[in-house]
Structure 1
Amino acid sequence: MSTRTDTLLSVRGVETYYGKIVALRGVDLDVHRGEIVTMIGANGAGKSTLMMTICGQPQARNGQIIYDGQDITLMPTHEIVSRGIAQSPEGRRIFPRMTVLENLQMGAALVDPSLFDEDLAKVFKLFPRLKERINQRGGTLSGGEQQMLAIARALMSRPKLLLLDEPSLGLAPLIVKQIFDAIRALNEEEGLTVFLVEQNAFHALKLAHRGYVMVNGNITMSGTGAELLKREEVRAAYLEGGRH
């Protein structure tokens, strides 16, 4: 496994349970600074559980999660977030009764207030649609706009590591392209480190520097995005109508 000194997130031997059910079975992976890393796998493979375990809900029963040189395995979620990890969870989970602006203010709650206007301008440049909807309630936005808002809210916390859980889920192809273009821009222009969990394997692997494949709570393959796109097993399972 990697011994690089620029590793931002290191997961080693992580096992997570729901009651007596094993959800993650000794997961090992690394995310290096400035990378986009993706994890693909079928629905129910354990991808979202890994994302939530990194954030401390649920906590790993065995193994270790090291972030930015510190062991966060048993830290409470609010401490993990305060260290620079932001998550845009599956299903968007914005605050539906709050306006776009109020949602973004919630994202910025732990950040120096003097930086708010600057950060707001950045997310509006990334997602101009949100600027048009600034006073609209989150629950009245389209699915694509809600996904943009979920990502923008996460960005308002100025993260070192952005966790994205199924950002393309249920969205039209044109919106999916906009979301993935925005992720690429954040990485290339801001140097933001991104860990992306996706069922849309083609888009995710094209975007990612490196990728992992998860099956039944196990990592079964890893490599560069380009390498995984060429693997017959990946193509058969996730790229030729086999993914669901």
Structure 2
Amino acid sequence: MTPTPRPPSLLARPEPAPVGSAKPAVLEVVGLTAGYGDLAAVRDVSLAVGRGEIVALFGANGAGKTTTLLATVGAIDRMAGEVRWHGRATTQKVHQLARAGLAFVPDERSIISGLSVLDNLRIGRGAVGAALELFPELQPLLGVNAGLLSGGQQQMLTLGRALAGLPDALVVDELSLGLAPLVVERLLQVLRTAADERGVGVLLVEQQAHRALTVADRWYLLANGRMAAEGGGGEAGLGALRTAFAATIDRVRT
């Protein structure tokens, strides 16, 4: 008999979800408050990503997902709280964390459109061959200017370059934005393989929850800049997420 899924935890002040002794946390956010100027866009956000684990971060538009990622990787300043890298608090900026093994793929595809695919791969931290092993679809396109690629090919280029650097953790914002379903499935499967075979911890912001939860181990839900709920992956996780999301809407209406 399939066990009844436990209802999601609706938390006022969430603590990072435990990742288990087999998956020590590689990246943690504790009590994060961040925003722009004097305006806080997210408040008291906590989450954790274990080694070899994919964690999805969901929320409606404007919930604070991108702000959370930017503050986590050191691209914007934090107002309060801390980020822990391999268990130690860090104030490093995005380029410093990149050298330490944290890769970041923003929602705007980080390619140089005037350079060839090959040259875009060469400016990454890893070997060209490693990226092509992940995405052999790029092999016949090495001499093509990256700006002429389709959106899916550009995302393969960006993700392949990031993973070729053998990061300990990967933070990805809006992986599927504007992409065909088959391409999204291909990208998500590469993330799952990187987590399983290389132990990469992945923090993923994604709008297509049903697709993300086919590969994600856990999820968090942001609502109005605060962590509202968390749950597991798979079909049960999707059902719990829907329940939690509906609860956040009801709160707004009341």
TM > 0.5: yes
- SS of aligned partner of 1:206: coil
Mapped to 2, the partners of 1:154 and 1:76 lie a distance apart of 17
User: CA offsets, 1:150-178, max 9 Å, x none?
Assistant: 10121232210011111111001111111
| Corresponding position of 1:28 | 46
- Relative distance call for 1:234 and 1:148 in structure 2 (3 A) is farther
Alignment partners' CA distance in 1, 2:160 and 2:135: 8
Residue of structure 1 in register with 2:146 after alignment: 138
Residue of structure 2 equivalent to 1:14: 32
| Match in the other structure for 1:54 | 72
Structure 1 residues 1-244: aligned runs within 5 Å: 1=15, 2=18, 6-72=24-90, 74-108=91-125, 116=127, 120-226=128-234, 227-231=236-240, 232-234=242-244
Shift of 1:76: 2.4
Contact 2:74/2:94 (<8 A) preserved: yes
CA contact (8 A) 1:8 1:31 kept: yes
Structure 1 CA distance for aligned equivalents of residues 46 and 135 of structure 2? 34
Unaligned runs of 5+ in 1: 239-244
Letter in 1 for 2:181: P
Using a 3 Å threshold, how does the CA distance of structure 1 residues 170 and 142 change in structure 2: closer, same or farther? same
Q: 1:130 to 1:8 in 2, by over 3 A?
A: same
* Displacement after TM superposition at 1:79 (Å): 1.3
Residue 4 of structure 1: CA displacement? 5.5
2:12 aligned partner = none
Contact preservation (8 Å) 2:134, 2:190: yes
Moved over 3 A (4+): 1-5, 234-238
8 Å contact from structure 1 (residues 43, 199) kept in 2: no
- In the superposition, the TM-score normalised over structure 2's length comes to 0.84
Alignment partners' CA distance in 2, 1:13 and 1:144 = 35
Q: Deviations over 1:180-228 (max 9, x none)?
A: 1211222222222111111111111221111101112111010112343
DSSP 3-state at the match of 1:179: helix
Partner in structure 1 of residue 6 of structure 2: none
Deviations for 1:66-87, whole angstroms, at most 9, x for unmatched residues? 0112222x22222111110001
What is the deviation of 1:55? 1.4
How far residue 234 of structure 1 moved from its aligned partner, in angstroms, is: 4.6
- Equivalent residues of 2:35, 2:79 under 8 A apart: yes
Q: Aligned residue pairs: how many?
A: 228
Q: RMSD of the TM alignment (CA)?
A: 2.0
Change in CA separation of 1:128 and 1:234 when aligned onto 2, cut-off 3 Å: farther
Q: Is the 8 A contact 2:19 2:49 kept in 1?
A: no
* Contact 1:222 1:228 (C-alpha < 8 Å) held by counterparts: no
Q: Distance in 1 between matches of 2:130 and 2:110?
A: 22
Equivalent-residue separation in structure 2 for 1:88 and 1:77 (angstroms): 11
